[in-house]
Amino acid sequence: MSVTEAGATIWLTGLPSAGKTTIAYELAGRLRAAGHRVEVLDGDEIREFLSAGLGFSREDRHTNVQRIGFVAELLAANGVKALVPVIAPYADSREAVRKRHQSEGTAYLEVHVATPVEVCSVRDVKGLYAKQAAGEISGLTGVDDPYEAPESPDLRIESHTQTVQESAAALLALLAERGLA
């Protein structure tokens, strides 16, 4: 790894249980093995430590995404591959993060982990879909709260039709194609 290695933010957006975090950690391992500096900014950890106190209103979700985008850009500007598996349900919030990166001259890739809600609800990694169905929670992204899918992401991953390894390989290929891996 050289001192001048280019950093980048790789934002993985998608529904809850789409596979964003699993793919991010698989990619992180591959990048680290190749000598890259990598950080995974997991949405759940960010909510606990950086965005504690924020709820799930549109305004709070926007604030959360902007905070994560700020940290990701700082890392990426300093040669780190910042992998960001965060739902980020609103297109305007994601676009604001992209624009911040562009204004700073920092590489930013948006990856849509396009797993259908029917598949996500079966995976239900955190039990959110079951809680929503039982009436215990509301505001679940993609069910009773909106999710605005990216219209033209840098990469769309259909995680329900390929393995985690295949998804990470597709992302790694994109990074290589853009001169970032």
Known binding positions: 14-21
Query: Which of 80, 100, 96 lies closest to 88 in space, CA to CA?
Result: 96
Kindly tell me the number of DSSP H helices and DSSP E strands found in the chain.
Answer: 7, 5
CA distance 72 to 161: 29
Which of helix, strand or coil describes residue 49? helix
Q: Hey, which residues does 85 pair with through a beta bridge?
A: 12
**Token duo for residue 13:** 């957006």
CB atoms under 10 Å from CB of 98, counted, come to 17
Is residue 69 within 8 Å of 96, Cβ to Cβ?
A: yes
Helix (H, G, I), strand (E, B) or coil at 2: coil
Angle between helical axes of 58-77 and 91-104 (0-180°, round to 10): 20
Which tokens go with 6?
A: 């280019």
Where is the binding site for ATP, in residues?
Answer: 14-21
